[in-house]
A and B are shown apart, each in its own frame.
Chain A
Amino acid sequence: MTDAGSRDRPDEQEKAGLVPWLDARLPVVSAFRREYVDYRTPRNLNGLWNFGAILTVVLLVMLATGIFLAVNYTPTAAGAFASIEAIDRQLPSGWLLRSIHVTGASMFLAALYIHLFRGLYYGSYKAPREVLWLTGLVLLAMVMLTAFAGYVLPWGQMSYWGADVAGKAVDAIPGVGPWLEHFLQGGDAPGDVSLHRFFILHMVLAFAVLGVVGIHVAALHVTGSNNPLGIEPRGAGDTLPFHPYYTSKDALGLILFALLFAVVVFFLPDVVFEAENFRPANPLHTPADIEPEWYFLPFYGILQSVPSKFGGLLASVGAILVLFLVPWLDRSPIRSARFRPLYRACMGVLVVCFVLLGFVGRHHAQGGWMIAGRIAVVYYFAHFLVLLPLSARTERGIVLPDGIAGAGRRGA
């Protein structure tokens, strides 16, 4: 006990109190400080880097409202529609919870698309961030599946026929298609069994998304954020501590996003609610104008532009799968499109094509929309499979800035 050389005793005197005691045994406080306070972040992140934080918060809001809605929801073909109406009309504040949840689905997908195109534009998928990119794409697929399952739950006309059409799409797979469709929907047509499965799938996937977000964020904190210049920070002068610089920037982005969110919830509910889905599911009558939610329309457009049932399915699934290959299709060592003139132009065309495909999906690929849709599909795949690998060859003699802080001073 009188050993002056022992490190135990001074440590004990230094770290008095409950928080240091806990931190010595489970370093939650120091880990939080390391990853969210002192965490070094490139000093030049623009507003597009807000969407990661925005997506995290919207996910938490979706989980919270989802749990409270699930408490009041009945996952049976006979009771689902009535329970949703009861949530809207009788449950205190139920209309608000449901409106936040439905609006949240659209806002989540919108933020996710921005987040995705941000990553494509600034080359955030390149080494050493491939795993970050792949986990993000897994999240995209999981969120799309969750959103689809959730859309079926109210068991209105659009819910029912959405589930039916998705089943028929599975049916298009050669060989196993009919068996797989029957197996997945648990009967000859969407019914009690399928609805119950969709409910469980929706809940389980929602929490699984939270888990994969944890992996996604962990991968981010290993490599650190990319930045609009696409060059690695050269030293401490190129970075800032996360707090207060990016906590306040994220807070501003969140407030602006929340304002937009609130405007849709309170003033523009028609934007996110489909009138036809306020009719109970009727297996004997298909609605006149059936189309998926806006966030699936580009893929619906691809599906309809390809003149083959199975080919359309392959193309729309392939449109997502091709994104998984992007880190290896892109041969250029330069990340940011700011320094890649050809790639930058191609990215602009890609965004136009993606939006155009959404309109094609909405207009059922008829007449001129059919031609536009086919051109857009060809461009979409050509962008990733041809232009992206070849564009590196056009990038000769490009000089990247020497450090972020220096580039900032020169106004680049």
Chain B
Amino acid sequence: MTTTGPLETDNSATDSPASDSPATGKRRDFLTLLTLAAGGAGVAAFSWPFLDSLRPGDSGAARPPVDVDVSKLPPGQQITVVWHGSPVFITHRTPQALERLQQASLAARLRDPSSAALQQPPYAANWHRSIVPAYGVVVGICTHLGCVPTYSPAPDPTTPVANWPGGYACPCHGSKFDLAGRVFIGAPAPYNLPVPPYAMPTPTTIRIGANPPGTDFDFSSIQQI
């Protein structure tokens, strides 16, 4: 309909758009810009499923709660289970160990004895940092640089530190925690060991990853793992 059709502009040497009048050139520039923008938007939209497929999968389906039967766990012993790819220590604490956890002299040696920092669900923000005193549940990753602390439950006057009440000692940089996962003063680790959300459907079953009924705690909201 205009002078840009192939049959009309039969000047075979100058088929290029540059030879058009300025008004046509502006309109052509606009159309080119519009075409490029639409094409760019199309390519961007098309690349979405490709990038999306690189995203880690649905965490809800990939991270079901883990049920652990602790009825066969003798007092003083610990088992390690894997949850979210991390080691979780489940400890059956002896009455003597629980007694030591409550001593005022121990609290004076701890950085955060009353669990003020958000390193545990509200239902574990107590002196034993668990739902029931007998069973301790902590994520076994040192809050300093991520090593797995060693379980040293026996009290000892000299090792690993003087007047050791029993707890965890990190092999990497010497951080120390008591049997409730509370960090000692003078160690590099800044926070207590995290307590994962867990419930006890029966007195000897620990369900890691599920909150007790009526509570709501998001593990990703803690200070530091």
Show the binding face of A for B, using Cβ within 8 Å: 43, 64-65, 68, 71-72, 90-94, 96-97, 100, 235-237, 240-241, 244-245, 251, 405, 408-409
A91 x B53 contact (CB < 8 A): yes
B53 x A64 contact (CB < 8 A): no
* In the complex, residue of chain A having the shortest beta-carbon distance to the beta carbon of B55: A92
The 0/1 profile, CB within 8 Å of A marked 1, for residues 1-44 of chain B is: 00000110010110111000000000000000001000000000
CA distance A241 to B15 in the complex (A): 7
Contacts of A409 in B (CB 8 A): 7
The answer to whether residues A68 and B61 also contact, given A236-B12, A241-B16, A408-B7 and a CB cut-off of 8 A, is no
* In the complex, residue of chain A having the shortest beta-carbon distance to the beta carbon of B39: A251
Q: Nearest-CB distance from B137 to chain A (Å)? A: 29
Contacts of B6 in A (CB 8 A): 43, 240, 245
CA distance A168 to B31 in the complex (A): 58
The 0/1 profile, CB within 8 Å of A marked 1, for residues 48-78 of chain B is: 1110110101100110000000000000000
Partner of B49, one of A43, A97, A241, A405: A97
Contacts of B15 in A (CB 8 A): 240-241
Contacts of B52 in A (CB 8 A): 92-93
CA distance A333 to B86 in the complex (A): 76
CA distance A321 to B6 in the complex (A): 41
Partner of A92, one of B7, B10, B13, B57: B57
Partner of B58, one of A43, A90, A405: A90
A97 x B13 contact (CB < 8 A): no
A235 x B48 contact (CB < 8 A): no
Contacts of B17 in A (CB 8 A): 244
6 A-B pairs within 8 Å (CB atoms) are namely A90-B61, A90-B62, A93-B53, A237-B10, A251-B35, A409-B7
B49 x A236 contact (CB < 8 A): no
Partner of B12, one of A96, A97, A237, A244: A237
CA distance A93 to B62 in the complex (A): 16
CA distance A152 to B7 in the complex (A): 51
* In the complex, residue of chain A having the shortest beta-carbon distance to the beta carbon of B46: A61
Interface of B is mostly: loop
Contacts of A91 in B (CB 8 A): 53, 57
* In the complex, residue of chain A having the shortest beta-carbon distance to the beta carbon of B7: A408
CA distance A100 to B7 in the complex (A): 40
Contacts of A235 in B (CB 8 A): 12
Contacts of B53 in A (CB 8 A): 68, 71-72, 91-94, 97
Q: Nearest-CB distance from A90 to chain B (Å)? A: 5
CA distance A295 to B35 in the complex (A): 35
Show the binding face of B for A, using Cβ within 8 Å: 6-7, 10, 12-13, 15-17, 35, 48-50, 52-53, 55, 57-58, 61-62
CA distance A237 to B9 in the complex (A): 10
CA distance A102 to B221 in the complex (A): 42
CA distance A68 to B62 in the complex (A): 21
Contacts of B49 in A (CB 8 A): 93, 96-97, 100
Given known contacts A65-B50, A90-B61, A93-B49, what 7 new A-B pairs fall within 8 Å (CB)? A91-B53, A93-B53, A94-B53, A97-B49, A100-B49, A241-B15, A408-B7
Contacts of B12 in A (CB 8 A): 235-237
* In the complex, residue of chain A having the shortest beta-carbon distance to the beta carbon of B4: A244
CA distance A310 to B45 in the complex (A): 50
B48 x A93 contact (CB < 8 A): yes
Q: Nearest-CB distance from B48 to chain A (Å)? A: 7
Q: Nearest-CB distance from A130 to chain B (Å)? A: 30
CA distance A93 to B45 in the complex (A): 13
Contacts of A65 in B (CB 8 A): 50
Contacts of A92 in B (CB 8 A): 52-53, 55, 57-58
The answer to whether residues A90 and B50 also contact, given A236-B12, A237-B10, A241-B15 and a CB cut-off of 8 A, is no
Q: Nearest-CB distance from B45 to chain A (Å)? A: 11
In the A-B complex, the 9 residue pairs with the closest CB atoms = A93-B49, A93-B52, A236-B12, A96-B49, A237-B12, A92-B52, A92-B55, A93-B53, A90-B57
A97 x B10 contact (CB < 8 A): no
Contacts of B58 in A (CB 8 A): 90, 92
Q: Nearest-CB distance from A54 to chain B (Å)? A: 15
B50 x A64 contact (CB < 8 A): yes
Contacts of B35 in A (CB 8 A): 251
Contacts of A97 in B (CB 8 A): 49-50, 53
Q: Nearest-CB distance from A88 to chain B (Å)? A: 12
* In the complex, residue of chain B having the shortest beta-carbon distance to the beta carbon of A87: B53
CA distance A92 to B61 in the complex (A): 13
Contacts of B61 in A (CB 8 A): 90
The answer to whether residues A68 and B50 also contact, given A240-B15, A244-B17 and a CB cut-off of 8 A, is yes
Contacts of B62 in A (CB 8 A): 90
Most buried by A among B7, B35, B53: B53
Contacts of A96 in B (CB 8 A): 49
CA distance A237 to B61 in the complex (A): 65
CA distance A64 to B47 in the complex (A): 10
* In the complex, residue of chain B having the shortest beta-carbon distance to the beta carbon of A245: B6
CA distance A142 to B178 in the complex (A): 67
Contacts of B55 in A (CB 8 A): 92
